[in-house]
Amino acid sequence: MNKKSPKMKNKINIRIMLAVSIAIFATLLLTTVVYYRIFQREVMESLAGYAHMLEETGVFYQKSVDIQPKEENVRITVVNSNGDVVYDSKEAIDKLDNHKERPEISEAFQKGEGRTIRMSATINQSNFYYAVKMKNGNVLRVAKETENIFSVFFSAFPLIIVIAFFLFLFCFLLGHYLTKSLLSPIEQMAGNLDHLEQVSAYKELYPFIDLIRAQHEDIVKGAKMRQEFTANVSHELKTPLTAISGYSELIENKMTNGEETIRFASEIHRSSKRLLTLINDIINLSELDATVGVELDMEEVELYSICENCINMLEPAAMKHGVQLHLAGQKRIINANRDMMEELVYNLCDNAIRYNRDGGNLWVKVGQELLIADDGIGISKEYQERIFERFFRVDKSRSKKTGGTGLGLAIVKHIVELHKAEILVDSEEGKGTRITIRFGK
């Protein structure tokens, strides 16, 4: 963050100043246009007042008129009903063409008054015209030549440049300060993620800080879990591999008799089965981890038939442990991933058989909820919240003896979460365990 911070500041400053430059230019341009509009209105009102004043004097009702405006750029023209010029303060009337089609004069004949603005032949000037119809039927027109908007803009250009420069300088300093104020707490966070509570920030940033804190804690927790998982996997794999290596070396070096060879081979077989089961569970768990945030392949699954198939599959293992299997309930259709549901039911039933007692029972009931219960060794209250942790075992010696990997319930918990279901555990040491899974409607 510290290496990228200057670049980020520069980018923000450049974008701010670009926006400021556009805003300043647009504001000055708009101000010029507004000013010119006001100027136009004032000129036209001035001409209208002047024309009405001349009309009220009655001087243009006389046969001979000779009036010269005080302002050099003001021109007075009188036009009769035929459009002929009968008086003009600037030009000889015999040199002027018919004015009846001039917009302001035509409008004055029709409505009593007319006004217009026309560009002169020289682009730097504009002509303002106001015409009023007199009582004798003639039209009195007053015209004034002024600078157009381009002339106004260019005449004010040096002042505009000075104003724009100081505005730009002010905005640059302000933008630099604001950018620094904006990024300072973020830089503090980047350099001190473990102590975000010490970051002094503006109130709008607190939700962002809380989110960063939560994400950082999740990342740290996830890293710690991965580290523990790696250590546990290494340890769990090492145990059966050591046994396989040791027993096979004894057999290879002919250091065993016939009975010992058979016993060691049996131990190698048991350890290899445990190793395969452990690898299988690790692969399953890794695949489940990879599905987080990914849409599952869901379908309508009939839960009772899945439980029935699982019971049939686990019957030999149940007989070996002296456990009686019981299936009850009714057909229940749920929207789920079939493979995951089969894995979930199998792990729960297999776990209930492994941690049962000789002559014990396993009940599987399918209804609105899935219930899997046993009357085995049970789980003490202090361990019930931890049974879904990876590699956690209540009775480690019994787990290894029965071939448990400590990952079965972790897989179950993961599948339940992926299906947005709920799992409840009710257990008492020495009396058995009830696990209930509630699926969404």
What residue segments make up the domains of the chain, in order of their start?
7-59+66-155, 192-290, 296-438
CA–CA distance, 149 with 129 (Å, rounded to integer): 17
Closest CA to 381 of 348, 429, 433: 429
Helix (H, G, I), strand (E, B) or coil at 265: helix
- The mean pLDDT of 20-31, rounded to a whole number, is 81
Kindly list the distances between the CA atom of residue 404 and the CA atoms of 273, 351, 414, 429, in Å, as whole numbers in the listed order: 11, 8, 18, 19
Q: Does an H or E element contain 317, and which?
A: helix 303-321
pLDDT at 366: 94
For 192-290, CATH gives 1.10.287.130
Count Cβ atoms below 10 Å from residue 256 Cβ, excluding itself. Answer: 16
CA–CA distance, 44 with 52 (Å, rounded to integer): 12
168: buried, middle or exposed (CB in 10 Å: 19+, 13-18, 0-12)? Answer: middle
Per CATH, 7-59+66-155 and 296-438 having the same topology is answered: no
Residue 393 has pLDDT above 70, yes or no: no
Secondary structure letter of residue 112 according to DSSP: S
pLDDT at 238: 76
143: buried, middle or exposed (CB in 10 Å: 19+, 13-18, 0-12)? Answer: buried
CA–CA distance, 239 with 196 (Å, rounded to integer): 42
**More confident position, 374 or 388:** 374
pLDDT tens, residue by residue, 47-101: 898 888 888 887 777 666 666 666 667 888 899 989 898 888 888 888 888 988 8
3-state secondary structure 119-149: ECCCCCEEEEEEEEECCCCCEEEEEEEEECH
127: buried, middle or exposed (CB in 10 Å: 19+, 13-18, 0-12)? Answer: middle
pLDDT band at 303 (very low <50, low <70, confident <90, very high): very high
Which class does domain 7-59+66-155 fall in?
alpha beta
- Across 29-43, 81-95, 278-292, least confident range: 278-292
**More confident position, 131 or 181:** 131
Which class does domain 296-438 fall in?
alpha beta
Residue 24 has pLDDT above 60, yes or no: yes
Q: Where are the alpha helices (DSSP H) in 112-205?
A: 149-155, 157-191
pLDDT at 122: 43
CA–CA distance, 104 with 112 (Å, rounded to integer): 10
**More confident position, 62 or 359:** 359
pLDDT band at 398 (very low <50, low <70, confident <90, very high): very low
Residue 107, token pair as written in the block: 């409008």
What share of the chain in percent tops pLDDT 90?
Answer: 19
Task: Name 113's bridge partners.
Answer: 132
**More confident position, 343 or 386:** 343
Report pTM: 0.49
**More confident position, 76 or 276:** 76
